[in-house]
Amino acid sequence: MRKDQNLFKRMIKGAWGFVGTARRFTFNLLFLIIAIGLIMAVFSSDKPKIADNTALVIKPKGVLVEQLTANSFDEVVDEAMGENVAETLLKDVTDAIVTAKDDDRIKVLVMDLSVFAGGRLTKLQDLAIALDEFKSSGKKIITVADSYGQDAYYIAAHSDEVILNKMGAVALEGFGRYRQYYREGLDKLGIDINVFKVGTFKSAIEPYIRNDMSEYAKEANNEWLGDLWQIYLDEVAQARGMKPAELNVYAQEITRIVKESKGDTAQAAIDFGLADKALTRVEQLEYLIGLVGKNEETHSFNQVGLGDYLKTIEADRFGRKAKGDKVAVIVARGTILDGSQPAGKIGGDSTAALIRTARNDEDVKAIVLRVDSGGGSAFASEVIRREFEKARADGKPVVVSMGSVAASGGVWISTSSDQIWAHPSTITGSIGIFGMVPTYQKPLAKYLGVRVDGVSTAPLAGIRLDRELPADIGEAIQANIDRGYQEFLKRVGEARGMTTVEVDKIGQGRVWSGVDAYELGLVDSLGNLNDAVNAAAELANLDEGYAVTYIEKEQNFQERLISQLTAKALQVKSSTNPTTSSLHKLVKELEMAATEFAELNDPNHAYVLSNIETD
């Protein structure tokens, strides 16, 4: 009997093992099939069919950027779940709009701003140029959203019709600059922040050594914020046929205006001339069907989205296959760090490699550097600057185009150039330098009873984050920072034809708008990227047939797959505006501050970094 029971148990165990193996095999096979299908869908080159009477729907997701951030697979998942802010490439949007202008199939352009998270003013201005060009064809632009924030409304103002939800609103917040300050909290924890800096206005370091914004920082911030706000008012008012003062009244007296409309924010926007129609989502759909017809399969209006429409554009939009004379564009977006960095950050080595590629390409006759950076490592900035110095020595003109932010290290890498162009709303300057070394020996001793002791044959061997920084070492670091500032003044002075004393007067870490920078002589001309490209071609004596080629770090298969998956992730995100709790936002801000600090990797701990974000 016992033998029969054991045999039965072995049979059951074997059968169950077979079932388990089969289950795992089936699950893995199913996962493999899904993965292969997804990869095939991602890299499918099938062009969508577009009806003769179609609306091009552009629905920018997240923030508008000039270079997409290279994501890991985990970040792709986070983005799909709404944990990370999505990105939309500005060039994708403008290329689609400009192409659609002459596309007879496209009758209407619909800008759906329901999930748009905003963008810096320079990017909105470039988008507005494309919208105005589209309108020159006589075709209509309609903007739809439940509600409009300030950035979204800048785009909406350049359309023919602004439609919002009957329960929506237009919110013009103005421009502000608020930061978190950690001094009191760091003192409570007993963490010492050893700061070394030059520049009265160099405020990037203030959160670690103050509990509030300094009067110097407030003075500088008020100056450039006021410039940007006036530019915004002027351009939006002109687009809507209003006076800037009238638009400013709406922003300044929103409480009174909403009260007078008895809380009907949508009607208040219409009465004030900021919106044209207030429609429910059902009514919006019916309105658009009336314009371009109904698609019986989808029960919506005839439309093609941005991603599908870009597949129909045959042109080599980034000039990667271009032949003959070329102007190379290198985009430098993000924090400047030492070493090789992915897209969305500026690596001293990786960006220098891109410059060398352009310099060694016989067909490239000029180089344009598009800067969108608040700076970072002084060492990496100098590595990049030296490469441009070599390119110019080899006879290739270098023109800098400053984007939304080109401050501190963004200025440093711009100094070896033949011309510097900036948008009027560019944020630049911040010519200053700092170093920061935190030590946490006090909380270790107080809370954990941990102390550090030992011996060394030279002072540097005893430098640790869990020991107090020796005073003489601090003096050495400060001396290096002082020298770095003098080098910065020298670089700018040589580039701008100024003495170091003259540069110091407008330096000291102070931030300026593009308008002020032009008046101060920090830039040569005001204009956008296209203006800078044309200037580079003129310096190189190129005929009109030259090509523009974007030189970027090559991606391997895994990186290309992740990039494509990012685009797919955006398509499955909710179409509603994401809402985030105040606590979650606070945690994210703290996390971002910690991440920014942790990634700084200058070998000399010397940073030419402003406190202005690029996006």
573 is catalytic: no
List C-alpha distances in Å: 372 to 137, 217, 348, 523.
Answer: 32, 22, 15, 15
- Structure token digits, residue 303: 């439309």
One-letter amino acid at 570 equals L
- Burial readout 102-129 (b: 16 or more C-beta within 10 A, e: otherwise): ebebbbbbbbbbbbbbbbbbbbbbbbbe
The CA angle 525-527-530, to the nearest 5 degrees, is: 120
One-letter amino acid at 457 equals T
123 is catalytic: no
- Burial readout 266-288 (b: 16 or more C-beta within 10 A, e: otherwise): bebbbebebbbbbbeeeebbebb
- Structure token digits, residue 360: 């060694």
**How far is 188 from 19, CA to CA, in rounded Å?**
59
**How far is 332 from 35, CA to CA, in rounded Å?**
33
**Contact predicate 57/141, CB 8 Å:** no
- Burial readout 52-66 (b: 16 or more C-beta within 10 A, e: otherwise): eebbbbbbbbbbbbb
**How far is 272 from 266, CA to CA, in rounded Å?**
10
- Structure token digits, residue 230: 């006036």
Instruction: List the alpha helices (DSSP H) in 469-581.
Output: 471-496, 500-506, 514-520, 529-539, 557-572
**How far is 602 from 356, CA to CA, in rounded Å?**
22
Instruction: List the alpha helices (DSSP H) in 340-377.
Output: 348-360
Instruction: List the alpha helices (DSSP H) in 361-470.
Output: 378-393, 409-412, 441-448
Distance of CA 349 to the CA centre of its chain: 21
Q: Which of 356, 332, 354 is nearest to 344 (CA)?
A: 332
Q: Which of 368, 348, 311 is nearest to 549 (CA)?
A: 368
Options 114, 377, 401, 408, the catalytic residue: 408
List C-alpha distances in Å: 324 to 365, 544, 545.
Answer: 10, 12, 9
**How far is 211 from 183, CA to CA, in rounded Å?**
5
The CA angle 433-218-177, to the nearest 5 degrees, is: 90
Q: What is the DSSP letter of 553?
A: P
**How far is 35 from 39, CA to CA, in rounded Å?**
6
At residue 57, the 3 state secondary structure works out as: strand
Helix pair 121-135, 215-240: axis angle to 10 deg: 10
Q: Say which residue the tokens 């054991």 belong to.
A: 6
Options 61, 202, 326, 396, the catalytic residue: 202
Compute the CA torsion angle 597, 602, 606, 610 (nearest 10 deg): -50
At residue 589, the 3 state secondary structure works out as: helix
- Structure token digits, residue 525: 């001309």
Distance of CA 86 to the CA centre of its chain: 10
Active site amino acids: 202, 408
